[in-house]
Amino acid sequence: MNLPNKLTVLRVLLIPFFAVFVLLYIPYHWIWALIVFAAASITDMLDGKIARAQNLVTTFGKFLDPLADKLLVMTALITLCFERLIDPVAVIIILSREFMVTGLRLVVANEGVVVAAGIWGKLKTAFTMVALVAIMALQIFFPDAKGSPDLNWNSTVFLVNEALIWVSVVLTVISGMKYLKGYWKYIDSSK
pLDDT digits (tens, 9 = 90+) for 107-165: 887 777 777 778 898 899 889 999 999 999 998 888 765 544 444 545 788 889 999 99
Contact 74, 12 (CB under 8 A): no
- CA-CA-CA-CA torsion for 166, 123, 63, 4, nearest 10 degrees? -120
Domain 3-186 sits in CATH 1.20.120.1760? yes
Which residues, including other chains, have CB under 8 Å from residue 80's CB and lie 6 or more apart?
Answer: 22, 86, 132, 135, 136
Q: What is the pLDDT of residues 32-84, one digit of tens each?
A: 999 999 999 999 889 988 988 999 988 888 888 888 999 999 999 999 999 98
Q: Where are the domains of the chain?
A: 3-186
Write down the pTM of the prediction.
0.87
